[in-house]
């Protein structure tokens, strides 16, 4: 349990988070819960927008974080594989889908549409 004196609830308004375009281009990410908005969080949460035709973000994995997404709207192409690059798969995600990416799994996303925007909510939880 968090110590009593640190049990403080933080509300972060959308207008105060801005948009990060350098984290994983071409994604446009607004980090609502991060070390910039909350004192020593054990998770990060944000929203990501994929503009029409947005190509893939860099192929990557998170060594110490599980990642979960909730697809708000649009169609998102996901490529994923195990950490040794085996069992590579591609899937189209749609609004309403939940996705769990365990620490170490390689993944990359792109907007599956050339004409419509897509968006997701992301949460990264430290597992180590």
Work out the pLDDT band at 128, boundaries 50, 70, 90.
low
The structure's pTM equals: 0.89
pLDDT in tens, 96-115: 999 999 999 999 999 999 99
Domains and CATH numbers, the chain: 18-126 (2.60.120.10)
DSSP string, the chain: ---GGG-------GGGT--BSSSSTT-EEEEEESTTTSSS-SEEEEEEEE-TT--PPPPB--SSEEEEEEEEESEEEEEEE-TTS-S-EEEEEETT-EEEE-TT-EEEEEES-SSS-EEEEEEEEE--
User: In this model, does residue 47 exceed pLDDT 80?
Assistant: yes
pLDDT in tens, 29-41: 999 999 899 988 8
Q: Across the chain, what does the average pLDDT equal?
A: 93
């Amino acid at each position: 349990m968090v110590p009593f004196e640190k049990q403080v609830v933080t509300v972060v308004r959308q207008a105060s988070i801005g948009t990060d375009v350098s984290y994983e281009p071409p994604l446009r990410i607004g980090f609502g819960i991060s070390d910039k908005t909350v004192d020593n969080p054990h998770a990060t949460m944000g929203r990501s927008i994929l503009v029409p035709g947005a190509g893939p973000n860099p192929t990557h994995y998170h060594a110490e974080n599980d990642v979960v997404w909730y697809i708000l709207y649009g169609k998102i192409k996901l490529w994923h594989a195990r950490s040794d690059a085996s069992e590579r798969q591609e899937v189209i995600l749609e609004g309403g889908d939940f996705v769990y990416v365990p620490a170490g799994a390689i993944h990359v996303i792109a907007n599956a549409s050339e004409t419509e925007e897509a968006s997701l909510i992301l949460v990264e939880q430290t597992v180590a």
